[in-house]
Structure 1
């Protein structure tokens, strides 16, 4: 089922709650709050996420909340716009959350 069909079905089936949000603009918007399970797939991320569909204007295709960003820890290259689900290192070196020494990191860079 397409995303818009899922939204229409969820809107009909539920007694929707109303939510007030303030997107990047200063204006607050009050819209129905419709939860829908959507398949999210881009690059190396493939999952089903519980999304809140908010009927906003066409400027907003997708708004990722802080909880989603913290959970998935995607990398975003703001200049060329790619987005990925695994940790990104512009130098091409392996990246991890493990502490490492500068000497060890230099050796890794030389080997790659």
Structure 2
């Protein structure tokens, strides 16, 4: 995801940079999670690079109490929970609306 996916830019920053997707580093980006669904969020504007994720996981393994690691995890939790609850609410609303609509049935030919 992001401009580096198309080869437009060179990625020379670390996982601590704001351009790195915190949700991707922690495992779940909603932009990827809801791809090809009715709730598609589009392309994530932040960077999804395996190198950054590998560096982040190495930093977590080396020192899970590092303030930077904790800050990234906290930001991920603050981002993912509201988006998941709003998506759940939107799915529930879609289900209610679709149940209210009368179903179209084909007419019998006699």
TM-score w.r.t. length of structure 2: 0.29
The structure with the greater share of residues assigned to helix is 2
TM-score w.r.t. length of structure 1: 0.29
Q: Which has the higher contact order (CA 8 A, sep 6+)?
A: 2
